[in-house]
Amino acid sequence: MTGFDIVMVIAIILFARLGMRLVSRYIKMKQQDDDENGNNND
In a domain, 12, yes or no: yes
pLDDT at 35 exceeding the cut of 90 = no
**Whose CA is closest to 15, among 7, 27, 26?**
7
Kindly state the percentage of the chain with pLDDT values over 90: 69
In a domain, 17, yes or no: yes
In a domain, 42, yes or no: no
Structural domain boundaries, residue 13: 1-36
**pTM to 2 decimals?**
0.64
Going by pLDDT thresholds of 50, 70 and 90, the confidence category of residue 10 is very high
- The angle subtended at Cα 23 by Cα 34 and Cα 8, nearest 5°, is 175
In a domain, 4, yes or no: yes
In a domain, 41, yes or no: no
In a domain, 30, yes or no: yes
In a domain, 8, yes or no: yes
**Whose CA is closest to 16, among 8, 28, 6?**
8
Residue type, 20: M
Number of domains making up the chain? 1
